[in-house]
Structure 1
Amino acid sequence: MAKGRNKKLTTDPNARPEQREQTEKLKKVTENWTPLQKTPPSYMKGTLAATVWQRLIPILQETGVVKQADKATVECLCSAIQLYREAFENVQKNGIQREVWTTPILPTGETLDKEFTRYQKNPAVTTMDSAMKQIKTFSSDLGLTPASRASLMASVDSQDDDTPSLAEILNAKSGDF
Protein backbone atom coordinates (compact mmCIF):
# COMPACT_ATOMS: atom_id res chain seq x y z
CA MET A 1 0.00 0.00 0.00
CA ALA A 2 1.50 3.34 -1.01
CA LYS A 3 1.85 5.99 1.67
CA GLY A 4 0.99 9.60 0.99
CA ARG A 5 3.39 12.42 1.57
CA ASN A 6 3.68 13.50 5.22
CA LYS A 7 1.84 16.69 6.07
CA LYS A 8 3.91 19.48 7.52
CA LEU A 9 3.32 22.78 9.26
CA THR A 10 4.47 25.67 7.15
CA THR A 11 3.64 29.22 6.18
CA ASP A 12 6.15 29.21 3.32
CA PRO A 13 4.44 30.81 0.31
CA ASN A 14 6.23 28.29 -1.92
CA ALA A 15 4.76 25.32 -0.05
CA ARG A 16 1.70 23.46 -1.28
CA PRO A 17 -1.57 25.32 -0.52
CA GLU A 18 -2.99 22.45 1.56
CA GLN A 19 0.08 22.55 3.83
CA ARG A 20 -0.40 26.26 4.49
CA GLU A 21 -4.15 25.69 5.08
CA GLN A 22 -3.43 22.93 7.61
CA THR A 23 -1.03 25.20 9.47
CA GLU A 24 -3.61 27.97 9.62
CA LYS A 25 -6.26 25.52 10.94
CA LEU A 26 -4.00 24.47 13.79
CA LYS A 27 -3.14 28.08 14.62
CA LYS A 28 -6.83 28.97 14.69
CA VAL A 29 -7.63 26.13 17.09
CA THR A 30 -5.08 27.51 19.59
CA GLU A 31 -5.23 31.24 18.83
CA ASN A 32 -6.83 32.20 22.17
CA TRP A 33 -4.34 30.26 24.25
CA THR A 34 -1.75 32.19 26.24
CA PRO A 35 1.52 32.47 24.30
CA LEU A 36 4.58 30.71 25.68
CA GLN A 37 6.67 33.00 27.86
CA LYS A 38 9.86 34.31 26.23
CA THR A 39 12.01 34.17 29.35
CA PRO A 40 13.21 30.89 30.82
CA PRO A 41 11.97 29.85 34.25
CA SER A 42 13.98 31.48 37.05
CA TYR A 43 15.53 28.19 38.18
CA MET A 44 17.20 27.88 34.76
CA LYS A 45 19.00 31.24 34.92
CA GLY A 46 22.68 30.99 34.01
CA THR A 47 22.46 27.43 32.67
CA LEU A 48 22.72 25.87 29.25
CA ALA A 49 19.03 25.02 29.58
CA ALA A 50 18.25 28.77 29.74
CA THR A 51 20.30 29.38 26.60
CA VAL A 52 18.47 26.56 24.83
CA TRP A 53 15.14 28.06 25.97
CA GLN A 54 16.07 31.46 24.53
CA ARG A 55 17.06 29.92 21.19
CA LEU A 56 14.08 27.57 21.04
CA ILE A 57 11.26 29.95 21.96
CA PRO A 58 11.44 32.04 18.75
CA ILE A 59 11.21 28.81 16.70
CA LEU A 60 8.24 27.59 18.74
CA GLN A 61 6.52 30.97 18.65
CA GLU A 62 6.95 31.11 14.89
CA THR A 63 4.86 27.95 14.56
CA GLY A 64 2.03 29.65 16.42
CA VAL A 65 0.88 26.38 17.95
CA VAL A 66 3.06 25.96 21.04
CA LYS A 67 1.53 27.82 23.96
CA GLN A 68 2.03 28.43 27.69
CA ALA A 69 0.21 25.14 28.33
CA ASP A 70 3.28 23.45 26.81
CA LYS A 71 5.74 25.11 29.22
CA ALA A 72 6.55 21.94 31.18
CA THR A 73 7.36 20.06 27.99
CA VAL A 74 9.64 22.88 26.81
CA GLU A 75 11.34 22.91 30.24
CA CYS A 76 11.92 19.17 30.02
CA LEU A 77 13.36 19.47 26.52
CA CYS A 78 15.76 22.22 27.59
CA SER A 79 16.84 20.26 30.66
CA ALA A 80 17.34 17.07 28.62
CA ILE A 81 19.54 18.98 26.16
CA GLN A 82 21.62 20.31 29.06
CA LEU A 83 21.96 16.80 30.54
CA TYR A 84 23.00 15.42 27.16
CA ARG A 85 25.65 18.12 26.73
CA GLU A 86 27.08 17.60 30.22
CA ALA A 87 27.20 13.83 29.71
CA PHE A 88 28.79 14.30 26.28
CA GLU A 89 31.50 16.51 27.76
CA ASN A 90 32.15 13.89 30.44
CA VAL A 91 32.51 11.17 27.79
CA GLN A 92 34.84 13.41 25.77
CA LYS A 93 37.01 13.92 28.84
CA ASN A 94 36.87 10.42 30.37
CA GLY A 95 36.03 8.14 27.44
CA ILE A 96 33.18 5.70 27.03
CA GLN A 97 34.81 3.15 29.28
CA ARG A 98 37.73 2.79 31.61
CA GLU A 99 40.03 -0.01 32.57
CA VAL A 100 39.54 -1.51 36.02
CA TRP A 101 42.68 -2.81 37.70
CA THR A 102 43.07 -4.63 40.99
CA THR A 103 46.07 -5.01 43.24
CA PRO A 104 46.20 -8.54 44.64
CA ILE A 105 47.22 -8.77 48.30
CA LEU A 106 48.82 -11.94 49.55
CA PRO A 107 47.96 -13.39 52.99
CA THR A 108 51.31 -12.03 54.15
CA GLY A 109 50.18 -8.50 53.31
CA GLU A 110 52.51 -8.23 50.36
CA THR A 111 51.01 -6.63 47.26
CA LEU A 112 51.55 -7.85 43.74
CA ASP A 113 51.59 -5.85 40.54
CA LYS A 114 48.27 -4.52 39.40
CA GLU A 115 46.20 -6.85 37.25
CA PHE A 116 43.72 -5.82 34.58
CA THR A 117 40.25 -7.00 35.60
CA ARG A 118 37.73 -5.59 33.13
CA TYR A 119 36.39 -2.56 31.34
CA GLN A 120 33.70 -0.49 33.03
CA LYS A 121 31.26 1.71 31.13
CA ASN A 122 31.30 5.40 31.91
CA PRO A 123 27.90 6.16 33.56
CA ALA A 124 27.71 9.32 31.44
CA VAL A 125 27.10 7.07 28.40
CA THR A 126 23.85 5.88 30.00
CA THR A 127 22.92 9.49 30.80
CA MET A 128 23.55 10.47 27.17
CA ASP A 129 21.39 7.62 25.92
CA SER A 130 18.54 8.51 28.26
CA ALA A 131 18.77 12.22 27.42
CA MET A 132 18.74 11.49 23.67
CA LYS A 133 15.53 9.50 24.06
CA GLN A 134 13.98 12.30 26.10
CA ILE A 135 15.04 14.91 23.53
CA LYS A 136 13.45 12.88 20.76
CA THR A 137 10.22 12.46 22.73
CA PHE A 138 9.92 16.10 23.81
CA SER A 139 10.87 17.37 20.34
CA SER A 140 8.17 15.21 18.85
CA ASP A 141 5.64 16.37 21.45
CA LEU A 142 6.37 19.99 20.53
CA GLY A 143 6.05 19.40 16.80
CA LEU A 144 9.77 19.88 16.15
CA THR A 145 10.07 16.79 13.94
CA PRO A 146 8.50 16.30 10.51
CA ALA A 147 6.55 13.22 11.63
CA SER A 148 5.12 14.95 14.69
CA ARG A 149 4.03 17.96 12.66
CA ALA A 150 2.14 15.63 10.32
CA SER A 151 0.53 13.93 13.32
CA LEU A 152 -0.57 17.28 14.74
CA MET A 153 -2.23 18.10 11.46
CA ALA A 154 -4.02 14.75 11.31
CA SER A 155 -5.53 15.40 14.73
CA VAL A 156 -6.74 18.84 13.64
CA ASP A 157 -8.32 17.33 10.51
CA SER A 158 -10.14 14.68 12.52
CA GLN A 159 -11.47 17.01 15.22
CA ASP A 160 -15.27 16.77 15.35
CA ASP A 161 -17.07 20.13 15.54
CA ASP A 162 -19.22 18.86 18.46
CA THR A 163 -16.15 17.84 20.46
CA PRO A 164 -14.90 20.62 22.76
CA SER A 165 -11.33 21.73 22.12
CA LEU A 166 -8.71 21.45 24.83
CA ALA A 167 -8.87 25.23 25.23
CA GLU A 168 -12.61 25.03 25.80
CA ILE A 169 -12.15 22.27 28.36
CA LEU A 170 -9.41 24.15 30.20
CA ASN A 171 -11.47 27.35 30.27
CA ALA A 172 -14.76 25.67 31.17
CA LYS A 173 -16.49 26.07 34.49
CA SER A 174 -17.64 22.95 36.26
CA GLY A 175 -20.90 21.66 34.81
CA ASP A 176 -20.32 23.16 31.32
CA PHE A 177 -19.80 19.72 29.80
Structure 2
Amino acid sequence: MAGTSASGRKPKLNDPNVKNKPRADRAKRAIENNSGFEEIKSPPARLSAEEKTLYRHIVQELNTKSILKDLDSSILEEFVAQVSISRQAREVIQEHGVVIFEDEKMKKNPAVDVLNNAVKNIKSLGSSLGLDPISRSSLLADVTTNNDDDVTEDIVAKMGGGA
Protein backbone atom coordinates (compact mmCIF):
# COMPACT_ATOMS: atom_id res chain seq x y z
CA MET A 1 0.00 0.00 0.00
CA ALA A 2 1.35 3.39 -0.92
CA GLY A 3 2.17 5.81 1.85
CA THR A 4 0.61 9.17 2.40
CA SER A 5 2.23 12.42 3.29
CA ALA A 6 1.40 11.66 6.92
CA SER A 7 3.06 8.25 6.89
CA GLY A 8 6.67 7.47 7.63
CA ARG A 9 8.93 8.30 10.47
CA LYS A 10 7.67 10.86 12.92
CA PRO A 11 9.70 14.05 13.07
CA LYS A 12 12.11 14.51 15.96
CA LEU A 13 10.63 16.62 18.72
CA ASN A 14 13.72 18.81 18.90
CA ASP A 15 13.64 19.57 15.15
CA PRO A 16 13.25 23.39 14.79
CA ASN A 17 10.97 22.90 11.75
CA VAL A 18 8.40 20.95 13.77
CA LYS A 19 5.31 22.83 14.86
CA ASN A 20 5.22 21.04 18.24
CA LYS A 21 7.12 22.44 21.18
CA PRO A 22 10.44 20.78 22.04
CA ARG A 23 10.34 18.10 24.74
CA ALA A 24 12.16 20.31 27.22
CA ASP A 25 9.54 23.06 26.89
CA ARG A 26 6.71 20.57 27.28
CA ALA A 27 8.39 18.97 30.29
CA LYS A 28 8.95 22.35 31.91
CA ARG A 29 5.30 23.26 31.35
CA ALA A 30 4.20 19.86 32.72
CA ILE A 31 6.24 20.42 35.87
CA GLU A 32 4.69 23.86 36.33
CA ASN A 33 1.19 22.47 35.80
CA ASN A 34 1.92 19.60 38.20
CA SER A 35 2.97 21.93 41.01
CA GLY A 36 -0.59 22.59 42.20
CA PHE A 37 -1.34 18.94 42.94
CA GLU A 38 -1.13 17.60 46.46
CA GLU A 39 1.76 15.34 47.45
CA ILE A 40 1.09 11.74 48.42
CA LYS A 41 0.72 11.29 52.13
CA SER A 42 -0.03 8.13 54.10
CA PRO A 43 -0.59 4.69 52.57
CA PRO A 44 -4.11 3.27 52.30
CA ALA A 45 -5.27 1.26 55.32
CA ARG A 46 -6.01 -1.79 53.14
CA LEU A 47 -2.29 -2.41 52.50
CA SER A 48 -0.37 -4.93 54.60
CA ALA A 49 2.33 -3.73 56.99
CA GLU A 50 5.06 -4.75 54.53
CA GLU A 51 3.29 -2.96 51.67
CA LYS A 52 2.84 0.18 53.79
CA THR A 53 6.57 0.21 54.56
CA LEU A 54 7.47 0.06 50.86
CA TYR A 55 4.78 2.64 50.04
CA ARG A 56 6.17 5.07 52.64
CA HIS A 57 9.75 4.53 51.43
CA ILE A 58 8.85 5.32 47.82
CA VAL A 59 6.75 8.32 48.82
CA GLN A 60 9.55 9.65 51.02
CA GLU A 61 12.06 9.38 48.17
CA LEU A 62 9.86 10.78 45.42
CA ASN A 63 8.04 13.50 47.36
CA THR A 64 11.37 15.21 48.02
CA LYS A 65 11.88 15.34 44.25
CA SER A 66 8.29 16.47 43.54
CA ILE A 67 7.75 13.56 41.16
CA LEU A 68 4.69 11.86 42.64
CA LYS A 69 1.42 13.55 43.42
CA ASP A 70 -1.75 12.31 45.11
CA LEU A 71 -3.22 11.48 41.70
CA ASP A 72 -0.51 8.80 41.37
CA SER A 73 -1.44 7.04 44.62
CA SER A 74 -3.50 4.30 42.94
CA ILE A 75 -0.59 3.43 40.63
CA LEU A 76 1.75 3.36 43.62
CA GLU A 77 -0.69 1.20 45.58
CA GLU A 78 -0.86 -1.32 42.74
CA PHE A 79 2.94 -1.26 42.42
CA VAL A 80 3.47 -2.20 46.09
CA ALA A 81 0.73 -4.85 45.84
CA GLN A 82 2.55 -6.42 42.88
CA VAL A 83 5.84 -6.37 44.80
CA SER A 84 4.09 -8.19 47.64
CA ILE A 85 2.63 -10.76 45.23
CA SER A 86 6.06 -11.37 43.73
CA ARG A 87 7.55 -11.92 47.18
CA GLN A 88 4.80 -14.38 48.09
CA ALA A 89 5.31 -16.28 44.82
CA ARG A 90 9.06 -16.46 45.48
CA GLU A 91 8.40 -17.96 48.92
CA VAL A 92 6.13 -20.62 47.40
CA ILE A 93 8.74 -21.41 44.74
CA GLN A 94 11.48 -21.68 47.38
CA GLU A 95 9.31 -23.99 49.47
CA HIS A 96 7.99 -26.24 46.69
CA GLY A 97 10.42 -25.70 43.81
CA VAL A 98 9.94 -24.59 40.21
CA VAL A 99 8.33 -27.91 39.34
CA ILE A 100 5.82 -29.86 41.38
CA PHE A 101 4.53 -33.41 41.13
CA GLU A 102 0.81 -33.96 40.78
CA ASP A 103 -0.55 -37.48 40.22
CA GLU A 104 3.04 -38.63 39.62
CA LYS A 105 3.38 -36.13 36.76
CA MET A 106 5.82 -33.28 36.81
CA LYS A 107 4.21 -29.85 36.31
CA LYS A 108 5.40 -26.29 36.42
CA ASN A 109 4.63 -24.68 39.74
CA PRO A 110 1.78 -22.16 39.15
CA ALA A 111 3.66 -19.71 41.37
CA VAL A 112 6.20 -19.33 38.53
CA ASP A 113 3.50 -17.79 36.33
CA VAL A 114 2.31 -15.63 39.20
CA LEU A 115 5.86 -14.39 39.73
CA ASN A 116 6.40 -13.71 36.02
CA ASN A 117 3.17 -11.71 35.77
CA ALA A 118 3.94 -9.73 38.91
CA VAL A 119 7.44 -8.91 37.63
CA LYS A 120 5.99 -7.65 34.33
CA ASN A 121 3.49 -5.51 36.23
CA ILE A 122 6.21 -4.19 38.55
CA LYS A 123 8.31 -3.19 35.57
CA SER A 124 5.44 -1.42 33.84
CA LEU A 125 4.09 0.33 36.94
CA GLY A 126 7.58 1.19 38.19
CA SER A 127 8.42 2.79 34.89
CA SER A 128 5.23 4.86 35.09
CA LEU A 129 6.30 6.05 38.52
CA GLY A 130 9.89 6.81 37.51
CA LEU A 131 11.30 3.94 39.57
CA ASP A 132 13.72 2.54 37.02
CA PRO A 133 16.94 4.04 35.63
CA ILE A 134 15.56 4.58 32.13
CA SER A 135 12.43 6.45 33.20
CA ARG A 136 14.46 8.53 35.68
CA SER A 137 16.99 9.44 32.98
CA SER A 138 14.09 10.34 30.69
CA LEU A 139 12.76 12.68 33.36
CA LEU A 140 16.19 14.27 33.65
CA ALA A 141 16.47 14.66 29.88
CA ASP A 142 13.04 16.27 29.67
CA VAL A 143 13.81 18.78 32.39
CA THR A 144 17.23 19.80 31.02
CA THR A 145 16.54 22.82 28.84
CA ASN A 146 20.07 23.92 27.93
CA ASN A 147 23.65 22.72 27.98
CA ASP A 148 24.66 24.65 31.07
CA ASP A 149 26.57 22.15 33.24
CA ASP A 150 25.50 23.88 36.47
CA VAL A 151 21.82 23.54 35.60
CA THR A 152 22.29 19.88 34.69
CA GLU A 153 24.16 19.17 37.92
CA ASP A 154 21.40 20.88 39.94
CA ILE A 155 18.74 18.77 38.27
CA VAL A 156 20.71 15.56 38.80
CA ALA A 157 21.20 16.47 42.46
CA LYS A 158 17.47 17.15 42.90
CA MET A 159 16.63 13.78 41.34
CA GLY A 160 18.93 12.00 43.79
CA GLY A 161 21.86 11.44 41.44
CA GLY A 162 25.31 12.88 41.25
CA ALA A 163 28.64 12.00 42.76
Distance 1:76 1:157 in 2: 30
Q: Structure 1: which amino acid aligns with 2:56?
A: Q
Q: 1:32 aligns with which of 23, 29, 36?
A: 36
Distance 1:155 1:57 in 2: 22
Give, in angstroms, the shift of residue 28 of structure 1: 3.7
Distance 2:144 2:34 in 1: 14
TM-score (norm 2): 0.64
Distance 1:155 1:73 in 2: 22
Q: Secondary structure at the match of 2:67?
A: coil
Structural mapping, 1:107-122, within 5 Å: 116=104, 118-122=105-109
Matching residue of 2:132: 145
Q: Secondary structure at the match of 2:102?
A: strand
Give, in angstroms, the shift of residue 30 of structure 1: 1.9
TM-score (norm 1): 0.59
Moved more, 82-91 or 148-157: 148-157
Unaligned runs of 5+ residues in structure 2 are 1-23, 146-163
Structural mapping, 1:77-96, within 5 Å: 77-96=79-98
Residues 1:42 and 2:45 aligned together: yes
Moved more, 62-71 or 47-56: 47-56
Moved over 3 A (4+): 24-29, 150-158
Point out the structure with max Rg over C-alpha.
1
Matching residue of 2:58: 56
Give, in angstroms, the shift of residue 156 of structure 1: 5.9
Distance 2:40 2:107 in 1: 43
Contact 2:38 2:69 in 1 (8 A): yes
More helix by share: 2
Unaligned runs of 5+ residues in structure 1 are 1-20, 102-115, 159-177
Give, in angstroms, the shift of residue 138 of structure 1: 0.8
Distance 1:47 1:82 in 2: 11
Distance 1:124 1:43 in 2: 24
